[in-house]
């Protein structure tokens, strides 16, 4: 088995809670007493552009929430959105130790909107762990599009068989495996550690 030289991580569902997935959206809709069906229809029309960085958070909210007057402010809604992001300390600690070992190039491949992504990077000290952020909002591509994985490989210039990609969703792992990357589906911190050990990845 080729030696792993680079580890790419999904962010939401692996290192942190998801940023603005179904669970987080439902929490916000319940908190602000918004109609779920009405919001969902508008969200589905905007989410691709939102996560690819083609529209800003304010533009997204204009089209999904503030297309009419509300009893709450835009800033209140944004603050609540940001507050939903929580770290997974055990996994973050593992990633930090692997980064500190100096053995691996550490990067992310993730789907997130620009403002939420930058907030989560800053809030959780991800710049101290990862050297490369292949985020959908920065590169204009989303998982599971094959080209976002290809871009990560081309940017780092490390052969795919020497790269490992970690994600909690199997459909996001399939394109990485197709390109020859080694893959791990994250299920729990202990399982992740064991799967990395099986690839001889240690801090």
pLDDT tens-place values along the chain, 203 residues long: 789 999 999 999 999 999 999 999 999 999 999 999 999 999 999 999 999 999 999 999 999 999 999 999 999 999 999 999 999 999 999 999 999 999 999 999 999 999 999 999 999 999 999 999 999 999 999 999 999 999 999 999 999 999 999 999 999 999 999 999 999 999 999 999 999 999 999 99
CA distance 166 to 172: 9
- Quick one: 68 and 91 in the same domain? no
**What's the pLDDT at 1?**
77
Q: Which one of 83, 103, 121 terminates a domain?
A: 83
Q: Are 14 and 91 in contact (CB under 8 A)?
A: yes
- Quick one: 77 and 116 in the same domain? no
- Quick one: 112 and 185 in the same domain? yes
Q: Which one of 68, 83, 98 terminates a domain?
A: 83
Phi then psi for 19, rounded to 5 degrees? -80, -50
**How do beta strands 182-185 and 105-110 pair?**
unpaired
- Quick one: 45 and 122 in the same domain? no
- Quick one: 97 and 189 in the same domain? yes
- Quick one: 93 and 180 in the same domain? yes
Does a structural domain hold residue 144? yes
- Quick one: 164 and 95 in the same domain? yes
Q: How many domains does the chain have?
A: 2
**What's the pLDDT at 2?**
86
Does a structural domain hold residue 156? yes
- Quick one: 10 and 35 in the same domain? no
The domain containing residue 121 runs over which residues? 6-17+86-198
- Quick one: 68 and 109 in the same domain? no
Q: Which one of 62, 83, 104 terminates a domain?
A: 83
**What's the pLDDT at 48?**
97
**What's the pLDDT at 198?**
97
- Quick one: 68 and 99 in the same domain? no
Q: Kind and range of the H or E element at 163?
A: strand 163-167
Q: Are 165 and 183 in contact (CB under 8 A)?
A: yes
Q: Which of 148, 24, 155, 139 is nearest to 82 (CA)?
A: 24
pTM: 0.96
- Quick one: 172 and 119 in the same domain? yes
- Quick one: 131 and 177 in the same domain? yes
**What's the pLDDT at 138?**
98
């Amino acid at each position: 088995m080729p030696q792993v030289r680079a580890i790419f991580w999904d962010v939401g569902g692996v290192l942190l809670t998801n940023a603005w997935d179904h669970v987080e959206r439902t929490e916000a809709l319940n908190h602000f007493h918004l109609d779920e069906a009405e919001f969902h229809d508008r969200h589905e029309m905007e989410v691709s552009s939102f996560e690819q960085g083609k529209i800003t958070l304010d533009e997204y909210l204009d089209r999904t929430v503030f297309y009419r007057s509300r009893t709450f402010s835009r800033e209140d809604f944004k603050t609540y959105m940001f507050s939903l992001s929580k770290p997974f300390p055990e996994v973050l600690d593992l990633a930090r130790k692997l980064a500190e070992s100096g053995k691996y190039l550490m990067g992310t491949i993730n789907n997130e909107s620009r403002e939420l992504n930058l907030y989560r990077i800053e809030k959780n000290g991800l710049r101290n762990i990862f050297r490369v952020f292949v985020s959908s909002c920065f590169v204009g591509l989303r998982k599971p599009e094959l080209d976002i994985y290809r871009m990560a490989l081309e940017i780092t210039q490390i052969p795919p068989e020497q790269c490992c990609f970690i994600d909690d969703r199997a459909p996001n792992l399939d394109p990485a495996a197709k390109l020859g990357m080694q893959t791990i589906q994250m299920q729990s911190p202990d399982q992740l550690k064991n799967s990395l050990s099986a690839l001889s990845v240690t801090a």
